[in-house]
Amino acid sequence: MSETVSTADLVSWIRAFRDAVQQHKDELTRLDSEIGDADHGSNMARGLDAVVAKLDPAPAGAGDLFKTVGMTLVSSVGGASGPLYGTFFLRMGPALSVDEVDATTLGAALRAGVEGVVARGKAELGDKTMVDALSPALDAWDAAVADGSDAAGAARAAAEAAARGRDATEPLVARKGRASYLGERSAGHLDPGATSATLLIEALRDTLADAA
């Protein structure tokens, strides 16, 4: 694969994420029905459909792309998911306003996105949120890049770490969001946000593998 990631690759990632959410919409809704409002799947699917509708023609650069994605999610997804995912992409945009996006640059942009989610949601690792998937994913990304991986290799490592983080939310007691109202009863369920966040990273892995 090329050492750089094109805007077309990033557009393909967003499309792949939409497709993954559509495919797993019922699962996400089921998970959210157990500890939330039972609308995570439908909200995310609707929002990402709105995003994809704005990607033809594709934005000229990665910065514009993620500004479009973020603003559309904020305006079209209900509940906490819209602001959190919207913030993630809005924070990514400025970090990608460069001519060449490589594994290091993309990792820094993803890190900026995750930091935005943490700041907006006031969530930490272990709170049973999407951060439990995203934070270890980015640590794995950075470690892979430090070992010499390109973006495709870093995305593979990140996806594996995200899945482990998602699975680790099952025994946790939620400390943030609607699930926190359940107290101890929130334990024993996967977090829907961590599950959709894992789909996000897996979509990036698959997109960059296909671009190889």
Using DSSP's 3-state secondary structure scheme, residue 37 falls into: coil
The C-alpha atoms of residue 77 and residue 72 are separated, in whole angstroms, by 8
- The per-residue pLDDT for 60 is 84
Q: What per-residue confidence (pLDDT) applies to 106?
A: 97
Q: What is the pLDDT of residue 77?
A: 86
Question: What integer pLDDT is reported at residue 1 of this predicted model?
Answer: 42
The per-residue pLDDT string of the chain (212 residues; one tens digit each, 9 = 90 and over) reads: 458 899 999 999 999 999 999 999 999 999 888 877 788 899 999 999 999 999 998 888 999 999 999 999 999 987 788 999 999 999 999 999 877 899 999 999 999 999 999 999 888 888 789 999 999 999 999 999 999 999 999 999 999 999 999 999 987 767 767 676 666 776 878 889 999 999 999 999 999 999 87
Do residues 9 and 2 touch, judged by C-beta distance below 8 A? Answer: no
pLDDT of residue 181: 62
C-beta atoms surrounding 40 within 10 Å: 29
Q: Please name the fold of domain 7-210.
A: 1.25.40
Q: Say what the pLDDT of residue 97 is.
A: 81
Angle between helices 40-53 and 81-95 (to 10 degrees): 40
Whole-angstrom distance, CA of residue 100 vs CA of residue 6:
8
Question: What single-letter amino acid sits at 173?
Answer: V
The domain ranges of the chain are 7-210
Neighbouring residues of 16: CB distance < 8 A, sequence distance ≥ 6: 203, 204, 206, 207
Residue type (1 letter), 148: G
pTM for this prediction: 0.94
- Radius of gyration in angstroms for the set of CA atoms belonging to the chain, rounded to a whole number: 16
User: CA 10 to CA 110: how far, in whole Å?
Assistant: 12
User: Is the CA virtual torsion 184, 185, 191, 193 positive or negative?
Assistant: negative
